[in-house]
Amino acid sequence: MQPRTPLLRATAQRVRCPLDLGSRRQYAQHANTGHGTARRRAAIPPYQKILRGFEDVRSVLGESRKLTLAEKILYAHLDNVEESLLENTNNGKNIRGNANLKLKPDRVAMQDASAQMAILQFMTCDLPSTAVPASIHCDHMIVGEKGADTDLPNSIAGNKEVYDFLETAAKRYGIEFWPPGAGIIHQTVLENYSAPGLMMLGTDSHTPNAGGLGAIAIGVGGADAVDALVDAPWELKAPKILNVRLEGKLSGWASPKDVILRLAGLLTVRGGTGSIIEYSGPGVDTLSATGMATITNMGAEVGATTSIFPFAENHVPYLKATGRSSIIDAVKGIAYGNESYNFLRPDSGCEYDEQVVIDLSTLEPHINGPFTPDLSTPLSKFKEAVEVNRWPKTFGAGLIGSCTNSSFEDMTRAEDLVKQAQAAGLRPKADFFITPGSEQIRATLEESSTLDTFSKAGGTVLANACGPCIGQWKRTDGVKKGQENAILCSYNRNFPGRNDGNGKTMSFLASPEIVTAMAYSGSTEFNPLTDTIPMPGGKTFKFEPPTGSRLPGSGFAIGNPAFLPSSAEPDSSVQVVVDPQSDRLALLDPFPPYGQGELKGLKVLYKVKGQCTTDTISAAGPWLKYKGHLPNISENTLIGAVNAETGETNVAYDADGTNMSIPELGKKWKQQGQQWIVVAEDNYGEGSAREHAALQPRYLGGRIILAKSFARIHQTNLKKQGVIPLTFTQKEDYDKISANDEIETSGLWDVLQNGGEGHIKILVHKRSGEVVEIPVEHTLSKDQCGFVLAGSALNVLAKKTKPAAEQPTTDS
């Protein structure tokens, strides 16, 4: 999409929501949870509709077909069961990896940074309300520095224009708006929306957090979310199913975080690509609901489509504690009922594509990093790793919380360690930061005096927001950019510069318990399981294994009612205003259609070396404020990318040898009408579900990304914006292309015309006059070919929702 100035206004007619059973939103009243006040009403999945969909699946595939849990929930949400499951699958025999599933999710959740572009795109469809229940969560733009009392008001003031836009849009279109301070999207979803059997999309890569409660929750870009918001089927290549069987039971220092840290080391950041991770085994029943959510949250770090746990008895107390007792009988009735109608547990005898077994009883704590979440080291070997790799022997900050580890259980186990140290007269030697995941968690921790314990120990309690986890951290410890240092955190991602914008900060991932204990030594070589801390008088202190409570005994506190969401009823009288002079928000115009024939005369803008995450392509941190303004945020395009030919970062060269930043050269070529291509290595676009990493190259004139392999979400995002992702048939052909080579395609036009059928080659015109022919692969489906031809997926949706007179022309 491109920026524009006129504002489209929605008409008064409402959109029918096909997912409701009789009404647009279906709710049940929260039970009283012990605090004397009735909670907000709970969102109930449309179980009758899901069951009818599952009955259709059984009818099409046959009663004897054994299905995994993930397959049951996914297939039960198909728009047309026969079309999705029988086409291109040998009549349903080979669905995984072959079928193009066209799905109708039950719900959409959006965080504030990605919601801006999602809402701007939704507005172009000119509809009066969303077709499915949706929510916006203001969590990404709050900077952590001095503590919640200072940071939250400052961030609200600094982002007022964006918050006002999101709130008015939410009220106009019937989207629940959770204001800044209410909590992190994934914790709020777990507490309010996630439920066994639900299928939802979220505009954040850690949306699978909801899978801890038995939901299929998939991270997507804003354009994918718009599909669901306008009642268009959302397409997904049928994933393979990777089973993780859990044996035994955690004890001592081992935590749910260590399960996923260990799994990341086994699978690597690419090991889950194209797969759903489905957990099973006797160990499942020993975990808390929030512990399961920690594990599914970080499935994103291995590239998985999503992760899911089956319904377990430990889900019941969590549902009760969060005011959702009303759905428990229905869930139990399905989960323990006849297997023919049970979509909350896998069929006995179902087959998986791969299986990993983890013994919880022998699992030890792990620390992952730096710079990648799959460099996994058992704690017992971490001291040796520090010495061998010459990592810093001290660390400056320990940070606990975030969407991954901010449950009541996480915090009370960390509190136990703080109390042990306090009793011995110790204080942390590293700065200690605590991030509650939601207002509900914060208020409950305040009631239990847990926050007071942290504060008295010298800890800084940050706002209920992402903060340092997403790069919104203003460090005050004197560490300068470019200075090598280390931090420990219980977060989920640790790419270079991720937390503080300093590419030299080595961020290590661990459980809240390990981070807390190690903060008291300040040493990366300290092992709290075996080592002691010196004390005055020659004495030493040794931690005992932490203990905590899975749930608060008197129920969760509601907290500040100002942090509760707005109504989900649309109000067409609310005006959504965007200032044409704003540097934070810009309305959108359609990208131009593809045109005719092969792509010719493209030039290689940049050849990327090594890891290229969505943080590399579209940095977060201070750039988050421009998420709603495509021209401004495009100024950071690929600024973290390493030049494969020179080793420089963010230094590109024009044909005459002039060097400049990558976005500067992209802008220059755009002004000249020169379209371009980027060449990259493996797992291009791993990390966050950052739609801007596809929008920005498209805006600047990018037409093709040619890589050795792609991360799933980013590959889909590119197609949605009309950018063509291609992979090398032979990875060594990467070496045959250089910056400024001229590129043309062969076979692409036929593939687009034939709905994805056919083969593509790239013709590389070298400066010497030599022409190199390189075979490449694509994953374009019929619908995705339509997106490319139309210019973007949004152009296709707009054509369906607008009168012909308002549709964009098809000229190139």
Place of tokens 């930043």: 661
Catalytic one among 107, 315, 366, 493? 493
User: How many angstroms separate the CA atoms of 463 and 147, rounded?
Assistant: 7
Catalytic one among 507, 521, 688, 781? 688
Catalytic one among 112, 139, 231, 431? 139
User: How many angstroms separate the CA atoms of 708 and 728, rounded?
Assistant: 5
User: How many angstroms separate the CA atoms of 614 and 767, rounded?
Assistant: 31
Catalytic one among 140, 172, 550, 698? 140
Catalytic one among 498, 690, 692, 712? 690
Q: List residues bridging with 622 in a β-sheet.
A: none
> Taking CA 732 as the corner, what is the angle to CA 726 and CA 737, rounded to the nearest 5 degrees?
65
Instruction: Supply 606's token pair.
Output: 């940049």
CA distances from 441 to 43, 56, 183, 551 (A): 19, 40, 9, 10
Q: How many CB atoms lie within 10 A of CB 362?
A: 10
Q: Is 690 a catalytic residue?
A: yes
Contacts of residues 15-20 at CB distance under 8 Å and 24 or more positions apart, as own/partner, are: 15/127, 15/128, 15/129, 15/130, 15/131, 15/230, 15/231, 16/131, 17/131, 17/132, 17/231, 18/104, 18/131, 18/231, 19/46, 19/49, 19/104, 19/106, 19/131, 19/132, 20/46
Dihedral over alpha carbons 174, 178, 180, 186 (to 10 degrees) = -130
Q: Is 204 a catalytic residue?
A: yes
Q: 651 — phi, psi (to 5°)?
A: -125, 115
Distance of CA 449 to the CA centre of its chain: 32
User: How many angstroms separate the CA atoms of 375 and 382, rounded?
Assistant: 11
User: How many angstroms separate the CA atoms of 428 and 422, rounded?
Assistant: 10
Q: How many CB atoms lie within 10 A of CB 573?
A: 8
515 by Cβ neighbours in 10 Å (0-12 / 13-18 / 19+) ranks as: buried
Catalytic one among 106, 112, 151, 204? 204
User: How many angstroms separate the CA atoms of 170 and 192, rounded?
Assistant: 18
804 by Cβ neighbours in 10 Å (0-12 / 13-18 / 19+) ranks as: exposed
Taking the alpha carbons of 384, 387, 393, 397 in that order, is the dihedral positive or negative?
negative
User: How many angstroms separate the CA atoms of 294 and 491, rounded?
Assistant: 10
CA distances from 248 to 245, 283, 364, 376 (A): 10, 5, 13, 21
Q: List residues bridging with 28 in a β-sheet.
A: 42
Of 780, 756, 720, 753, nearest in space to 232 by CA: 720
Active site residues: 139-140, 204, 493, 688, 690
